[in-house]
């Protein structure tokens, strides 16, 4: 099986390369693809050198599966090229997710959708949406969800390698300054970089993506639209406030979800302990709940702080965290690819 990783030099592409060391998809040839800037850079795959190839139509020759981890514009341009050349395309960008002819797949929730792909393209969802949907999907099957209100706490690497680098630089600048607390000098010390609209170190930024006329941001709209599509609930009411926080890896969400049936916290915990792709870390008295730092580099969506709303026995609150680069992007795409292994089922 010949597999292409498009965007292999980016932060999600790098995570794909790491996961492909751990999980055996039966790859006989791996082609890392990026822009001409990266051509010739040598990556490693299972002890063998894999030189990066500049993207071109020919770079998809003979490719069975192409994992796209590129900006939206690059996916829009190149995913159809790869699909026309016969590859199963799995795209991590937002470019195709809401196209009615492109399935949006979370293997733990709707794996069957991957096999109906008129354009030859399968989309992998937004990382914040995955952090919501993995527990929500399991609870919905038991109690029927009707309304979701959430706030997110999203890491700098959600804005790619450049976002992660910008936060690390700002943290270093802040750390070199003595006596910052109470000085009011924070905003003079750390200035705005190229990626985020405000300094991120020592700060939180309540805007991710462009703002629409109704005041919602692109990220907030994606969370609602993609949750409705993956769960097959076109009328589900979802409202989100998405916030960038100064963590490097790991997106967290604080969720209020209302259901048709009554559901207790104990029952929710029992359901989530059995849910695929979910791990419960929930003993607040003992200080046990998920945090981005502890969950980074791990596969599941971690859930804690599970409570029943004291004013509504049909509503639950919880706090969930996933590694945005791993389950939030690279791992989900690889799990979709695994739906097509063995290779004789590819085309």
Q: Measured from the CB of residue 214, what is the shortest distance to ligand NAP in angstroms?
A: 23
Q: In terms of CB distance, is 13 or 246 closer to ligand NAP?
A: 13
CB-CB contact of 59 with 79 (8 Å): no
Q: Which is nearer to ligand NAP, 299 or 309 (CB)?
A: 299
Could you identify the residue written with the tokens 């999980």?
Answer: 23
Q: Please state, as a whole number, how many other Cβ atoms lie within 10 Å of the Cβ of residue 129.
A: 30
The verdict on whether 251 is a catalytic residue reads yes
Pick 26 or 51: Cβ nearer ligand NAP: 51
| 39: helix, strand or coil | coil
Task: Look at the chain and count its residues.
Answer: 347
Rounded least distance, CB 164 to ligand NAP, Å: 8
Smallest separation (angstroms) from ligand NAP to the CB of 220: 15
- How far from each other are the two terminal CA atoms of the chain, in whole angstroms? 12
Phi first, then psi: what are they for 133, rounded to 5°?
-75, -30
Of 45, 127, 140, 301, the catalytic one is 127
Residue ranges binding ligand NAP (CB under 6 A): 6-13, 34-35, 37-38, 55, 69-72, 74, 92-94, 127, 157-158, 160-162, 324-325, 328-329
Given 45, 140, 251, 301, which residue is catalytic? 251
Q: Which is nearer to ligand NAP, 140 or 327 (CB)?
A: 327
Three-state SS for 302? strand
Cβ contacts of 203 within 8 Å, gap of 6 or more: 186, 190, 246
Cis-peptide into 342, omega within 30 deg:
yes
- Give the residue at shortest CB distance from ligand NAP: 10
Positions annotated as catalytic residues are: 127, 251
């Amino acid at each position: 099986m010949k597999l292409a990783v498009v965007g292999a030099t980016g932060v999600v592409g790098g995570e794909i390369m790491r996961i492909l060391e751990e999980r055996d998809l039966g790859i006989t040839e791996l082609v890392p693809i990026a822009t001409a800037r990266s051509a010739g850079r040598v990556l490693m795959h299972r002890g063998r050198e894999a030189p990066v190839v500049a993207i071109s139509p020919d770079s998809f020759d003979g490719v069975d599966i192409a994992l796209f981890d590129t900006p939206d514009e690059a996916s829009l341009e190149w995913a159809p090229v790869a699909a026309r050349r016969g590859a199963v395309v799995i795209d991590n960008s937002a470019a195709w997710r809401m196209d009615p002819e492109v399935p949006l797949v979370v293997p733990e929730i709707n794996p069957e959708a991957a096999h109906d792909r008129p354009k030859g393209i399968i989309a992998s969802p937004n990382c914040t949406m995955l952090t919501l949907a993995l527990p929500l999907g399991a609870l919905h099957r038991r109690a029927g969800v009707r309304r979701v209100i959430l706030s997110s706490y999203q890491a700098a690497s959600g804005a790619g390698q450049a976002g992660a680098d910008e936060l690390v630089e700002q943290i270093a600048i802040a750390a070199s300054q003595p006596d910052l607390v109470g000085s009011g000098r924070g905003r003079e010390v750390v200035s705005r970089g190229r990626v985020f609209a405000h300094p991120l170190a020592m700060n939180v930024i309540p805007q991710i993506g462009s703002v629409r006329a109704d005041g919602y941001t692109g990220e907030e709209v994606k969370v609602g639209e993609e949750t409705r599509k993956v769960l097959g609930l076109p009328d589900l009411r979802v409202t989100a406030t998405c916030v960038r926080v100064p963590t490097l890896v790991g997106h967290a969400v604080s969720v209020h979800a209302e259901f048709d049936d009554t559901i207790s916290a104990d029952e929710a915990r029992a359901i989530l302990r059995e849910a695929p792709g979910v791990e419960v870390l929930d003993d607040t008295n003992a200080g046990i709940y998920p945090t981005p730092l502890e969950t980074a580099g791990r596969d599941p969506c971690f859930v804690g702080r599970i409570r029943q709303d004291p004013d509504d026995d049909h509503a639950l609150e919880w706090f969930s965290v996933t590694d945005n680069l791993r389950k939030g992007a690279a791992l989900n795409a690889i799990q979709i690819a695994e739906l097509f292994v063995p290779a004789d089922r590819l085309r």
